[in-house]
């Protein structure tokens, strides 16, 4: 699971770089290397500590007679379980050590087939991810919101600020399916709704993404939804289309058209950066193709509320019967499973 020799070689290489004064002029790179160096040092110390605890606990178990000292035996078994949990967390740390995993995340949700049902589903997913982010003490900002015709949301984009926010959510891309008795159906029939989720990392000044003005089509339009009279009566919202990639981003979170344009450009850079990552990483995930037709065929997870209750991840095969808990943001079991099994 952990390649200590490889980590030690990387640590030695980083120490040489950070001690070489010729590298000190590039402060951003130096700071990044120092952070990575400290991470590896702490990580290796944690591995050694857990390895010693495991060895000591196993030795005690071997000399403990369960029949005469059952209480001690149970305590030692509990200690082994705790050590296993800590090892799993360390494993997640290694999985979330990719180029962009430590960054904030931009998360888009779009309604699919199902009309008002799917638009309500988008709002439910927004609440689910927001609750999860709050449980991690992450900060949430709504960047763009397209309100549904009758209820819910046609689409929404949020930014989640927090350590490894992108690392946690990077595998949520795909179609999410809901089956329930519709609150909008007077005959109380069962309906199936679809929504797509797409996550990409926020970038900062350390990432250089070149965008040519000639490749951009910029449109302004009137912002929709709540936000005050001024927001709704001026063309403050901005939509940017990047011609070479056909990527479209929009922002209407601010009263200032200039500020919305700046935010939209940052979103575009983040999406282009995600494309670069997908090319570099072999798994690439066919991320763009995951944004194809929102329908039955390419779903990653089902949330079934009728005729039984079950959340099923179709990639990891993890099943959880407490749908309410998942929709309230208790996603760690699903997220951890996909990071371990799919990364």
Sign of torsion over alpha carbons 318, 92, 276, 212: positive
Of 61, 79, 95, the position where a domain reaches its end is 95
- How many Cα neighbours within 13 Å face the side chain of 336? 12
Note whether 133 and 268 are same-domain residues: yes
Note whether 140 and 256 are same-domain residues: yes
Note whether 239 and 320 are same-domain residues: yes
Domain span at 157: 102-343
Of 64, 95, 126, the position where a domain reaches its end is 95
Range with the poorest average pLDDT among 70-79, 224-233, 296-305 = 224-233
Note whether 79 and 125 are same-domain residues: no
Provide the domain count of the chain: 2
CATH code for position 273: 3.30.70.1660
Note whether 261 and 120 are same-domain residues: yes
- Say if residue 158's pLDDT is above 60: yes
Picking from 265, 105, 291, 288, the residue whose alpha carbon sits closest to that of residue 199 is 105
Q: 3-class secondary structure for 186-226?
A: CCCCEEEEEEEEEEEECCCCCCCCCCCHHHEEEEEECCCCC
The pTM score is: 0.72
Each residue of 38-51: pLDDT tens digit? Answer: 878 888 888 888 88
DSSP state of 142: E
Note whether 65 and 121 are same-domain residues: no
Each residue of 120-151: pLDDT tens digit? Answer: 999 999 999 999 999 999 999 999 999 988 88
Note whether 10 and 158 are same-domain residues: no
Note whether 280 and 245 are same-domain residues: yes
Note whether 53 and 144 are same-domain residues: no
Note whether 126 and 258 are same-domain residues: yes
State CA 257 to chain mean position distance: 28
Of 95, 129, 146, the position where a domain reaches its end is 95
For 246, residues 6+ apart whose C-beta sits below 8 A from its C-beta are none
Range with the poorest average pLDDT among 14-18, 167-171, 246-250, 289-293 = 289-293
CB 153 within 8 Å of CB 123:
yes
Note whether 90 and 109 are same-domain residues: no
Note whether 133 and 255 are same-domain residues: yes
């Amino acid at each position: 699971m952990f390649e200590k020799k490889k980590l030690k070689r990387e640590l030695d290489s980083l120490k040489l770089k950070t001690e070489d004064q010729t590298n000190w002029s590039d402060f951003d790179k130096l700071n990044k290397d120092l952070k990575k160096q400290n991470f590896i040092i702490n990580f290796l110390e944690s591995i050694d500590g857990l390895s010693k605890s495991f060895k000591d606990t196993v030795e005690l178990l071997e000399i403990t007679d369960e029949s005469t000292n059952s209480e001690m035996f149970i305590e030692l078994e509990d200690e082994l379980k705790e050590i296993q949990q800590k090892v799993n967390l360390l494993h997640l740390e290694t999985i979330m050590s990719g180029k962009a995993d430590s960054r904030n995340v931009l998360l888009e949700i779009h309604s699919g087939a199902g009309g008002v049902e799917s638009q309500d589903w988008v709002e439910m997913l927004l609440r689910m991810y927001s609750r999860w982010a709050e449980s991690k003490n992450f900060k949430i900002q709504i960047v763009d919101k397209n309100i549904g015709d009758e209820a819910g949301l046609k689409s929404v984009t949020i930014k989640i600020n927090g350590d490894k926010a992108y690392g946690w959510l990077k595998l949520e891309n795909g179609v999410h399916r809901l089956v329930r008795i519709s609150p909008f159906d007077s005959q109380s029939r069962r309906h199936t709704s679809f929504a797509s989720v797409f996550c990409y990392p926020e970038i900062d000044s350390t990432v250089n993404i070149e965008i040519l003005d000639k490749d951009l089509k910029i449109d302004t339009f009137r912002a929709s939804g709540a936000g005050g009279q001024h927001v709704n009566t001026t063309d403050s919202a901005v939509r940017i289309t990047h011609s070479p990639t056909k990527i479209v981003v929009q922002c209407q979170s601010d009263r200032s058209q200039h500020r919305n344009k700046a935010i939209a450009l940052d979103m575009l850079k983040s999406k282009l950066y995600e494309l670069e990552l997908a090319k570099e990483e072999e798994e690439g995930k066919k991320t763009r193709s995951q944004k194809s037709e929102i329908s039955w065929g390419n779903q990653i997870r089902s949330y079934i509320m009728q005729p039984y209750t079950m959340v099923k991840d179709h990639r990891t095969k993890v099943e959880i019967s407490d749908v309410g808990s998942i929709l309230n943001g208790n996603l760690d079991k699903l997220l951890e499973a996909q990071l371990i099994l799919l990364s």
